[in-house]
Amino acid sequence: MKNNISALMDGELFEDETEALFNGLKRDSEAHRDWAAYHLIGDVLRQPEYIHRDISGRVRELMQREPTVLAPRIRGITQKVRNVALSAAASLMALGVVAWMSVQITPETNPQLAMQQTNTRPVSLQTQSKSNDYIMAHQEFSPSNDMNGGASYIRTVSYGSEEKPQ
């Protein structure tokens, strides 16, 4: 454990090891003393001009009179925010993929074909005007639109509730 305390002080311990070490420090008063001693050594090496006496015992005594601190977990909140952000990102990505796929499926217009289409348009316009009557007459037999096929058999009726004159 002492080895890990030393590494932790230097920021060289992994997060999962840190949690276990903090639990150990809580149980083991010797380990707590090592933590304090290692920090004292560091402070002496950096600032030998000023070393004051240990006040941690007095602070601990004062803290016993204080109510225990309980605060909402920051990590819980950030976790929720992270989850929402991840869901939003996943949705956006899915939309992007669908959009990309639809672009890929749509056949590219060949310039020559496009020219042909523009050339044939006047012809189709001419034939369209002639065939309008034919299409209107046979629309009910169109397989592509069942409602339209049945719509020709629907008659609009009205109902009046007027009394007959006697």
Partner 1 sequence: MADREVDQQLVERVQRGDKHAFDLLVAKYQRRLGRLISRFVRDPGEAEDVTQDAFIKAYRALPGFRGESAFYTWLYRIGINTAKNHLLANKRRPPTSTLFDAEESESFEDAGLLQEVSTPENELMSKQVVDVVQSSLQQLPEDLRSALTLREIEGLSYEEIASVMNCPVGTVRSRIFRAREAIAENLRPLLETSKGNRW
User: Does position 71 bind partner 1 by CB under 8 A?
Assistant: yes
> What single string gives the DSSP state of each residue in 57-88?
HHHHHHHHTSPPP----HHHHHHHHHHHHHHH
User: Does position 19 bind partner 1 by CB under 8 A?
Assistant: yes
Site string for partner 1, 95-134 (x = CB under 8 A): ----------------------------------------
Instruction: Return the number of the residue (18 or 149) whose C-beta is nearest partner 1.
Output: 18
Q: Shortest approach of partner 1 to residue 80 CB, angstroms?
A: 15
For residue 94, give the 3-state DSSP assignment.
Answer: helix
Check if the beta carbon of residue 4 is closer than 8 Å to that of residue 21: yes
Residue 80 vs residues 14, 19, 83, 102, 162: alpha-carbon distances, Å: 24, 22, 5, 33, 66
Task: Give the amino acid at 141.
Answer: F
List 41, 86, 92, 113, residue binding partner 1 (CB under 8 A):
41
User: Does position 81 bind partner 1 by CB under 8 A?
Assistant: no
Site string for partner 1, 50-69 (x = CB under 8 A): xxxxxxxxxxx-xx--x-xx
Check if the beta carbon of residue 43 is closer than 8 Å to that of residue 51: yes
Residues within the interface to partner 1 (CB under 8 A): 2-3, 6-8, 10-15, 18-19, 22, 25-26, 32-60, 62-63, 66, 68-71, 73-75
